[in-house]
Amino acid sequence: MNSRLTIEAMRAAAYAIESASDLDAVRAIQAAQDALDAEKAARIGAIRVSRSFELEGASSVATWAKNELRLNAREAKAMERAAPTLEQLPKVAEAAASGLIRLAHVHIFTYGIRHVGAQLMIESQDWLLDVARHWEPAELFDVMKKLKAAVHPESLDDAWKKGMDKADFQVQPVPGGYHVTGFLDVTAGAKLQAVLDALSAPRDADDLRTGAERRVQAVEDLADSVLEHGLPSDKGFRPQMTVHADADTLDDALSDDLQESAAPGEPATLAGYGQIGPMLLSLIACHADVTPVLTHRQPAMDGSRLSNQPGGRRVPRTQSQVLNVGRTQRFATRKQRIAVLARQEGVCAAPGCSHTHLEIHHVLWWHDHGGPTDLDLMVGLCSRCHHLVHRELLRITADGIGGFSFTDRDNRALLAGYHQRQAAHRELGRIRKVAARVAQRRRERSAPFIT
């Protein structure tokens, strides 16, 4: 790299500082700074080759740069990679030494050598430098990605396939709300972005909401629309958000003065999330359908949220008999479904499971065992746990008075252990995915490089 060009840029900056206008001075200072950055990258590359950093007790260039230049490891590595680029692309090196392009542009040329090919980058220096001189690094990067796609169109499908392998989406309840994490593949992400862009656009000139507020409201509007019109029914019932609250708690939340009221009942529970306060309950109730359910609560003895055996005493359930339909109907009636959801507070009955989209399962199977459609012999399970039951990996026994016990296929009682085995199964799946990605990367690195 020609250091004289860098020195000339520094002289021009020094002269501009003394005698030029502010506009010309800033332009000259920027050019000198860019030239010095390029020179620094070239010298760091030379240090890497000579390993002179070891003379000062550093184990690597990155360590030396951290100690001596206050650069983090990422910045030092980027400069190390830029040095060979300046050697391979002399015209790029000349433009960088003169301060005509920035070091960020050089990093993009490094990306091009790696992903497009060194020979093609050498041949394309002139027109790519014309882009770099007139546009910011982001614009040059867009051009470089298009060049890569034109030269290696198969890379687009490879990236799409890798994205599908990484696809994941989770919504986890945390104190104060929900935490959303994940990665969407190209088609799923594009669809979601199209919907959110339309819903989060400012409504008019007086819409003063921030971008974050508009995006969150767009997600809520989308969920409202789907829950109201978009979801298909499941055996005649559409999935909905469910809140369970005592009558006293609900009345108190709907009172005119929430500050003075003191709810004598238990806090309301949002299915899949947990307990919520009276103000949030009041907000949800304003737009909700309220279904009164008469219940008779008894404490659990076996750790299950459905047990109704205080001290082993069997309690008559005369009200459930009114809802029983025996063998006259296979699927649970609307009233039975409401009763099951209320009994479980809208959450899957399997120990450790917190899913809220439930299917009604006959504990005595309808076909195989002639089970009746009676309330005390039906339980709400999520789709995954329901499949485990029909694969005979999860077994359920009813006590006949609304309580249920869960065992594995070896008839061992399931409480926390069931949840732990589910978590271990999910973690094993994640480990297998990571191992597959690592193996794929190793195969790609071992493949011969052809330019």
CB 214 within 8 A of CB 198: no
Residue 268 is predicted with a pLDDT of 85
Cα–Cα dist 164/151, whole Å: 23
DSSP per position, 52-107? GGGGGT-SSHHHHHHHHH---HHHHHHHHHHHHHHHH-HHHHHHHHTTSS-HHHHH
Low-confidence ranges of the chain (pLDDT < 50): 261-263, 298-318, 416, 418, 451
Residue 258 is predicted with a pLDDT of 55
Q: Which residues on neighbouring strands pair with residue 379, listed in sequence order?
A: 361
pLDDT tens-place string over residues 197-253: 888 888 777 888 888 988 999 998 888 888 777 666 555 566 678 888 888 888 887
Q: What is the dihedral angle through the alpha carbons of 379, 384, 390, 395, rounded to the nearest 10 degrees?
A: -60
CB 169 within 8 A of CB 182: yes
Cα torsion angle, 333, 334, 338, 339, sign:
negative
Query: So where are the chain's domains?
Result: 3-152, 166-203+210-230, 243-285, 310-414
Give me the residue label for tokens 């959110």: 196
Terminal-residue alpha carbon distance, the chain: 24
Cα–Cα dist 80/103, whole Å: 12
Phi, psi for residue 273 in degrees, rounded to 5: -120, -60
Residue 33 is predicted with a pLDDT of 92
Residue 316 is predicted with a pLDDT of 40
Angle ∠(292,293,297) on CA atoms, nearest 5: 140
Cα–Cα dist 180/171, whole Å: 5
Q: Is the pTM of this model over 0.75?
A: no
Residue 266 is predicted with a pLDDT of 74
In this structure, the chain runs to a length of: 451
